Amino acid sequence: MLFRRKHSQNNDRYTHLREKMVDEQLRRRGIKDKRVLAVMRKLPRHRFVDPDDMDNAYDDNAMPIQCEQTISQPYIVGLMTELLELKPSSRVLEIGTGCGYQTAVLAEIVDQVYTVEIIPELAQSASKRLDELGYRNIHKKHGNGYHGWEKYAPYDRIIVTAAPKEIPNRLIEQLADGGLLILPVGDYHQDLVRIHSTENGIERNTISGVRFVPMTGAPD
């Protein structure tokens, strides 16, 4: 699509690592969405980590980034993206831009992504990185993720990349009818939860145990 840059990493030295990551960490663990697999096969994950960590960017684990935050394990990124059941027309709200990797994955699949980051240094560096990679379909905001982004609500899909102790009510309120919300929930023990807004109310399903950094900001 016109607002995505054609990534030129097909022949770079990380190509093999991306192929191995997708085949061994995603496909073998059951990720089937062809769009998710294709995006993560081409997206330069090493551009989203600290320069000293670039050679380890495709390893099977989360990695530290600035401000004591993390970039999620590739499998978790793939799993959460697949669980969103994205369509190109889906309006997606992401809470927790972080380094911007999950944001870029979303932006490769859907037309419009709205992302909120509470830590100013992260918001600034991610914005610069995403601009440099050529994304023009990402709307960025520095703010409290507990509040969502009411201006552009409702959203077809919402994804949260840090763990609140409880599901923020404002995010549920900003979810469109039929929409999906994927997020980790909990304190020491966390579960990946899928919320579906139906005509009969909210359906909640637990997917698996996970470990994310705590969500910061005030619920009210």
Q: What would the pLDDT profile of 26-73 be if each residue is shown by its tens digit? A: 999 999 999 999 999 999 999 999 999 999 999 999 999 999 899 999
22 in any annotated domain: yes
Per-residue pLDDT tens over the stretch 89-136: 999 999 999 999 999 999 999 999 999 999 999 999 999 999 999 999
148 in any annotated domain: yes
Other beta carbons within 10 Å of 102: 23
10 in any annotated domain: no
140 in any annotated domain: yes
Q: How far apart, in whole angstroms, are the C-alpha atoms of residue 174 and residue 208?
A: 24
**pTM metric for this prediction:** 0.94
pLDDT value at residue 4: 53
> What is the count of structural domains for the chain?
1
Catalytic positions, please?
72
Other beta carbons within 10 Å of 84: 24
CATH of the domain at 187: 3.40.50.150
216 in any annotated domain: no
| pLDDT above 70 as % of the chain | 95
pLDDT value at residue 7: 55
8 in any annotated domain: no
Q: Does residue 6 have a pLDDT over 60?
A: no
Q: Which of 65, 217, 203 is nearest to 144 (CA)?
A: 217
Q: How far apart, in whole angstroms, are the C-alpha atoms of residue 215 and residue 60?
A: 23
163, 136 Cβ separation under 8 angstroms: no
Domain of 115 in residue numbering reads as: 15-210
38 in any annotated domain: yes
184 in any annotated domain: yes
